[in-house]
Structure 1
Amino acid sequence: MEFRFSGEIWHWRGPSPFYFVTMPEDQCRELHEVSAAVSYGWGCVPCTVTLGDTTWQTSMFPKDGRYLVPLKAKVRRAEDVDEGMVVDLRLAVSS
């Protein structure tokens, strides 16, 4: 299952600060239909994400009915992106 979408980078300033892009609501509904088959626990969904020329493996986190795509510092530096910027992501759900 593959998705393409644009989203704004935002910074979560909790005990373990991190940067995320939130998957659009309509695609979250589609993903939720198969998430039980691909999740390894706590609703986390493994995936391969591409931003620009950078591809990495990660897991999306469910939050408030949506999925969050984490952006590592290494990825943000390689693609010269930061909080508040809108980015285009390509995402393949791992099975």
Structure 2
Amino acid sequence: MRSASAASRGDATSDLITDSQGPGREALPRIRVHDLRHTHATILLMGGKPVKVVSERLGHADPAITLRVYAHVMPGNQREAADWFAALVESA
């Protein structure tokens, strides 16, 4: 079952899950294919995959686009980079 907005856009894949799966089960939220795209990118980046690789998978023309959109999911990387560099300097 498509939402009214999806039907007006002619987007047949906008809602993947729309109803409960049987008696006694709660309805699942509507999930668009675009939401799965963001989930995919977020999981890859949080798993430490290179931004360039994720950017290519998303079809972004430039990794800077990926960085602008998904920078908020990588805040821990700053601490990790600082700790790594500090250890390198201390061992020198």
Which bracket does the TM-score occupy, shorter chain normalised?
under 0.3
- Higher RCO by CA contacts (8 Å cutoff, separation 6 or greater): 1
User: What is the TM-score when the length of structure 1 is the normalising length?
Assistant: 0.24
Name the one with the larger strand percent: 1
Name the one with the larger helix percent: 2
User: What is the TM-score when the length of structure 2 is the normalising length?
Assistant: 0.25
